[in-house]
Amino acid sequence: MSYSEFYRRSIEQPDDFWREQSQLVDWFEPFTQVHDGSKAPFDRWFIDGKLNLCHNAVDRHAQVRPDDRALIWCSTEVDQEKIYTFRDLLQEVQAMAASLRSLGVTKGDRVLIYMPMIPEAVFAMLACARIGAIHCVVFGGFASVSLASRIEDASPKVIVSADAGSRGAKVIPYKPLLDGAIEQSTHKPAHVVLVDRQLAPWQAVPDRDIDYATLRATQLDQPVPCTPLDATDISYTLYTSGTTGKPKGVQRDVGGYAVALAASMKHIFLAKPGRSFFATSDVGWVVGHSYIVYGPLLAGMATVLYEGTPIRPDPSIWWRLVEKYQVTSMFSAPTAIRVLKKEGPTASEGYDLSSLQALFLAGEPLDETTSSWVSQTLQVPVIDNYWQTESGWPILTLPRGVEPLPTKAGSTGLPVYGYKVRVMDESTGKPVTEPGRKGLIVLERPLPPGFMQTVWQDDTRFINTYWQSVPGQSVYSTFDWGYQDEDGYCFIAGRSDDVINVAGHRLGTGEIEASIATNASVAEVAVVGVKDDVKGQVAVAFVTLKQAGAADDAGTLQGTICKTVEQQIGAVARPSHVYFVEALPKTRSGKLLRRALQAVAEGRDPGDLSTMEDPAALQHIEQQFRKG
């Protein structure tokens, strides 16, 4: 079957299509209805069906091939490698599940996971799925303030963490950050379970903190059956940056997510049981959820969990892992490839990469130069794909498991089966039908299985944020501009909202601006994402001060502001530069013209300034840039 036929069937006969895909997972009880769209835009999938993500990812494989590799952990930070078979993984997940259960965690309770890239992070996620708890993984690089806001919103019964992580051989103590976050949050977890890696000293808070090794020893070999869950139950929440500064808890279901991931592994990522999959992301991001933990394991593959950077101990480390573990599919981000490109093609020379069938890249725009370089270097197809935390799996790509379609330079591919992708005029709500003409990328209902259910505890925000952006149309806004060519291939042109993409990490400008505004000298601030050859984008801040002359020691003030952002949000959000300006460009209604600031910072024409209250404000900034 051609991909065009495959796609058409998913759109024209969605119930039949997804009923077939549902056979890729095990069900404890069959569903009675494929799709329920009666409460739009809250689509529900596989009504009345019961299943369990952990059973599908671990137990069913442990039953038929217990000695196959399931989890391959490699850390170049602590120079350790460890392989877990499906039998081993089942034992460790049950031990973690029994441990959580002993602390009173039951179905529907929240467990916040704040961990580095270590096996226990995977055990904790799968253990939550096993007993029906809702896990909320927070990226280990987040500082106390950001972590506190997520603890506040998720209200976890238990937090699972570690003494420390490590990045580039630099130890990052987690315990002080976690203690500070709990102190700032009005919600106090009953317990903190800590994996002691012996990387940083820590002191237990009495009656709260528990060493996991001690707890595990009391729970090892305790059988914990998988809890049958409704397909529409919540599997997890994952926070994504919001433009208001308050993070949004993307809420995912169980059944739709399981089916969507299992189908994507087959049709997009060339999965087959017994093979190895290597995603270089972090479990704190959606790629880590979908394609480090759940997706590969659902497909019966070994998944590589890597702790380290792409260039330590040297730029060949990833290719050594590909050769050693016979990786067949690899998933990374353009930033990482650009880092490797700077090291030259010799990093991969001398390694047998014949097992690798394709390299998949996502998380940020993929430029033609980077794509061509890595394709020629590795001699494998390079497949771009576009999606979001909200979608959980790709929206645009080339599903090579259906048909090996040709790539196009700069394109993220075709709409993925199940997605009704449209380009619309944001101001009129009319469809853009002319090939090459830019518009807002939107999705028409029904959204396919695996997509977010809503914003955690905030249905109103879900509707207001995503479904009311286009006049007269009830469509989901991706907040990305783009266009389609005459063949239907899609091209992403950039964001339409105030979220920037730094090395694949989505960051809300509002959150960064709020952090900068805590400085007593700052009157106003605007943060924009500016193109960067390595990271894709970097955050750049434009600041006005309360008192003239306050920026006489600009270097010191910039350093203070950047340090504040790093402490409150994390190093990834640290502005690459802070510009002190006399005024910020605004519309007559007072809205900041971030697009104009971004254009100036990137050396582009800021465009029509007719709506600007004071054009001189932008002219002064342009002069400042011209002076260097």
Cis ω for the linkage preceding 247 (within 30 of 0): no
Task: Clarify whether residues 563 and 504 are in a common domain.
Answer: yes
With 50 as the cut, is the pLDDT of residue 292 above it? yes
Q: Which domain holds residue 463?
A: 421-495
Q: Which of 462, 495, 528 is the last residue of a domain?
A: 495
Query: Rounded to whole angstroms, how far apart are CA atoms 275 and 322?
Result: 11
Task: Clarify whether residues 539 and 432 are in a common domain.
Answer: no
Query: Rounded to whole angstroms, how far apart are CA atoms 543 and 525?
Result: 4
The CATH number of residue 489's host domain is 2.30.38.10
Task: Clarify whether residues 531 and 487 are in a common domain.
Answer: no
In a domain, 97, yes or no: no
pTM for the whole structure: 0.84
Percentage, residues of the chain above pLDDT 90: 70
Q: Which of 460, 477, 495 is the last residue of a domain?
A: 495
Query: Rounded to whole angstroms, how far apart are CA atoms 460 and 195?
Result: 38
Task: Clarify whether residues 517 and 579 are in a common domain.
Answer: yes
In a domain, 462, yes or no: yes
What pLDDT digit, counting tens, does each position of 88-122 carry? 999 999 999 999 999 999 999 999 999 999 999 99
Give yes or no for a contact between 362 and 385, defined as CB atoms under 8 angstroms apart.
yes
DSSP assignment letter at 250: E
- What backbone torsions phi and psi does residue 413 show, to the nearest 5 degrees? 105, -155
With 80 as the cut, is the pLDDT of residue 421 above it? yes
In a domain, 316, yes or no: no
Task: Clarify whether residues 597 and 550 are in a common domain.
Answer: yes
What per-residue confidence (pLDDT) applies to 596? 82
β-strand pairing of 476-484 with 439-444:
antiparallel
DSSP string for 464-501: HHHSSSSTT---EEEEEEEEE-TTS-EEEEEESSSEEE
What per-residue confidence (pLDDT) applies to 587? 54
Looking at 217-221, 222-226, 617-621, which range is the least confident one?
A: 617-621
Task: Clarify whether residues 508 and 577 are in a common domain.
Answer: yes
Confidence of residue 177 (pLDDT cuts 50, 70, 90): very high
What per-residue confidence (pLDDT) applies to 589? 41
Query: Rounded to whole angstroms, how far apart are CA atoms 7 and 4?
Result: 5
In a domain, 545, yes or no: yes
Task: Clarify whether residues 473 and 566 are in a common domain.
Answer: no
For residue 532, the surrounding DSSP H or E stretch is strand 522-532
In a domain, 520, yes or no: yes
Task: Clarify whether residues 509 and 534 are in a common domain.
Answer: yes
In a domain, 406, yes or no: no
Q: CA dist 32 to 27, 48, 52, 78, 474, Å? A: 12, 6, 17, 50, 28
Confidence of residue 598 (pLDDT cuts 50, 70, 90): confident
Task: Clarify whether residues 552 and 594 are in a common domain.
Answer: yes
In a domain, 447, yes or no: yes
The dihedral of CA 497, 502, 505, 508: what is its sign?
A: negative
Percentage, residues of the chain above pLDDT 70: 94
What pLDDT digit, counting tens, does each position of 586-596 carry? 754 445 677 78
Three-class secondary structure of residue 194 per DSSP: strand
Q: Which of 495, 530, 559 is the last residue of a domain?
A: 495
Four-CA torsion 483, 484, 490, 493, nearest 10 degrees: -20
Task: Clarify whether residues 561 and 542 are in a common domain.
Answer: yes
Query: Rounded to whole angstroms, how far apart are CA atoms 210 and 219?
Result: 13
The CATH number of residue 586's host domain is 3.30.300.30
Three-class secondary structure of residue 10 per DSSP: helix
In a domain, 90, yes or no: no
Partners of 29 in the β-ladder: 50
What per-residue confidence (pLDDT) applies to 220? 94
With 90 as the cut, is the pLDDT of residue 513 above it? no
Confidence of residue 243 (pLDDT cuts 50, 70, 90): very low
Task: Clarify whether residues 454 and 438 are in a common domain.
Answer: yes
Task: Clarify whether residues 512 and 615 are in a common domain.
Answer: yes
Average pLDDT over residues 395-406: 96
Query: Rounded to whole angstroms, how far apart are CA atoms 323 and 353?
Result: 6
Question: Is 525 or 352 the better-scoring residue by pLDDT?
Answer: 352
Confidence of residue 188 (pLDDT cuts 50, 70, 90): very high
How many separate domains does the chain show? 2
β-strand pairing of 358-361 with 382-384:
parallel
Partners of 82 in the β-ladder: 73
